[in-house]
Amino acid sequence: MREFSSEGKCREYLANLRWPGGIICPKCNCRHTCLLSNRRYQCAECRCQTSVTAGAVLHRTHMPLTQWFLAFYFVSQDKCGISAVALMSMFGMTYKTTWHMLMRIRSTMNQRDKIHQLSGTIEFDDTYFGGPTVGKKRSRETEKAKVFAAVSLDEQGNPRNIKMQVTQNIKRASVKKFAQTAFVQASTIHSDGYRNYIPAMEGYTHEQKLYDPDSGLLHWLHISAELKG
Ligand SMILES: [Zn+2]
């Protein structure tokens, strides 16, 4: 609330993310721009105008940036994903407005997730994902989706990023395809010794061990899989 308390602070934050070395004209790469009264930047060379939000998730928004930033915060902090109804009562806006905000945020997260690859040390396994089907027992795993799950760790061994993908099966080709899309080539993969993992991880540094729940192997992966419900 303190860091992003005004439109100016939010705009400055976005400008630093977008142009860390100062504003650059998107058309001619000129570095000489002036700020107009409508908060757009105009290039001194080609007169092209741009803004901190142009062409990105907040393109042409009429909503205050302070509210967008709050929405980003709530979406990222709520374990189950905040609803449009909850945002509506917090912001005093219509359902339609908060629903559109959430759609924009989710679609951006999805785009980012599609191109982002995990790197460094990665824990990998397959698991089941999803809650109970209405009117049926929770324990029947066949009603849940089979997923590949991976967590990348930082140098202290703490979790950084998670990637999950629904899969029809855990055959060698499917594992390999997931690894190629989800992991940077130079990564080190930790997994249990399931036979299909070994050939699928060719090209990566692969450390596979017999799974023992007390060993600490796949610690963060199992914690994140438990958060799924
Ligand atoms: Zn220009």
pTM for the full model?
A: 0.72
In terms of domains, do 127 and 109 share one?
no
Per-residue pLDDT of the chain (229 residues; tens, 9 = 90+): 999 999 999 999 999 999 999 999 999 999 999 999 988 999 999 999 999 999 888 998 889 999 999 999 999 888 777 899 999 999 999 999 999 999 999 999 889 888 999 999 999 998 887 655 555 555 545 567 889 999 999 999 898 998 989 999 999 999 999 999 999 998 999 998 888 888 888 889 998 887 776 777 788 888 877 754 4
- Find the 48 Cα to ligand 1 centroid distance in Å: 5
In terms of domains, do 180 and 101 share one?
no
Parent domain of 194? 121-228
The rounded distance, in Å, linking the Cα atoms of 187 and 184 is: 6
Check if the beta carbon of residue 116 is closer than 8 Å to that of residue 162: no
77 three-state secondary structure: helix
Task: Name the helix (H) or strand (E) containing 147.
Answer: strand 145-153
Query: Exposed, middle or buried: residue 63 (CB in 10 Å: 0-12, 13-18, 19+)?
Result: middle
- Find the 24 Cα to ligand 1 centroid distance in Å: 8
In terms of domains, do 126 and 205 share one?
yes
The rounded distance, in Å, linking the Cα atoms of 159 and 162 is: 8
Our count of domains for the chain comes to: 3
Dihedral Cα 41, 70, 83, 228, nearest 10 deg: 110
**CB-based neighbours (< 5 A) of ligand 1, an ion:** 25, 27-28, 30, 43, 45-46, 48
Q: Which amino acid is at 197?
A: Y
13 three-state secondary structure: helix
